[in-house]
Amino acid sequence: MDNNEIPLINVPYPPELSVEEILSRRSDERLRSRAPNQYFIYRMAYIKQLRKIIGDNISMIRISPYISSSWSKEPPEVKEAYKRLSGQAENRLKEIRKSSSL
């Protein structure tokens, strides 16, 4: 596969991302903000899948249209699964905020 080719990606369903994985890269300051929405979590899953195939050298500008197109073609149950994951991430952030003095 050459560098200009973006392979077709099947984003995992049910989602293979955990709440901890979604929140793992957040700084303490970002723990105060809202959890990522369903589309951003889907985007994370898409990028994770793509990296398994082509490695780390991915231009976000180039792949964004592919992610958007893929998301728009997903059936409602897939979107709902990512929405539930977003809600779980928000609940986890609330727990973190309660237990620490952010």
At 3 the pLDDT is 52
Dig out the tokens for 94 from the structure: 């609330």
How many helical (H) and strand (E) elements, i.e. helices and strands, does the chain have? 4, 0
pTM: 0.87
At 26 the pLDDT is 82
Task: Please give the tally of structural domains in the chain.
Answer: 1
Tell me whether residue 7 is in a domain: no
Tell me whether residue 46 is in a domain: yes
Tell me whether residue 4 is in a domain: no
**CATH number of the domain where residue 49 is located:** 1.10.30
Higher pLDDT among residues 27 and 69, named by residue: 69
Over residues 44-62, mean pLDDT: 89
Phi, psi of 40 (to 5 degrees): -65, -35
Which domain covers residue 25, as residue numbers? 19-100
